[in-house]
Structure 1
Amino acid sequence: MPTGHRLSIPGVHIRLEESRVVARLERISLTRH
């Protein structure tokens, strides 16, 4: 993915990181059960 001016926005960057963490936690919980 090309790093553009969109990723420079703090809100969008934080949102992307949060979505990644949530996806990871959901995957771990699904694999555990």
Structure 2
Amino acid sequence: MLVAFVLSLAMIGIIHWLASFVAWIFMLAVTVAAIG
């Protein structure tokens, strides 16, 4: 039970990190496109 809880927590953390990383790259690309 504890292992499943830790695994689900890790999955949520990884998904959250990936989403913020993709959003950061998207904003960077928009900024570069707006400047260039």
Q: TM-score, normalised by structure 2?
A: 0.67
Q: Which has the higher helix share?
A: 2
Q: Extract unaligned runs of 5+ from structure 1.
A: 1-7
Q: Relative contact order (alpha carbons < 8 A, sep ≥ 6): 1 or 2 greater?
A: 1
**Alignment RMSD (CA, Å):** 1.3
Larger radius of gyration: 2
Query: Deviation above 2 Å: which 4+ runs of structure 1?
Result: none
- Paired residues in the alignment total 26
Q: Give the gaps of 5 or more residues in structure 2.
A: 29-36
Identity of aligned residues (%): 0
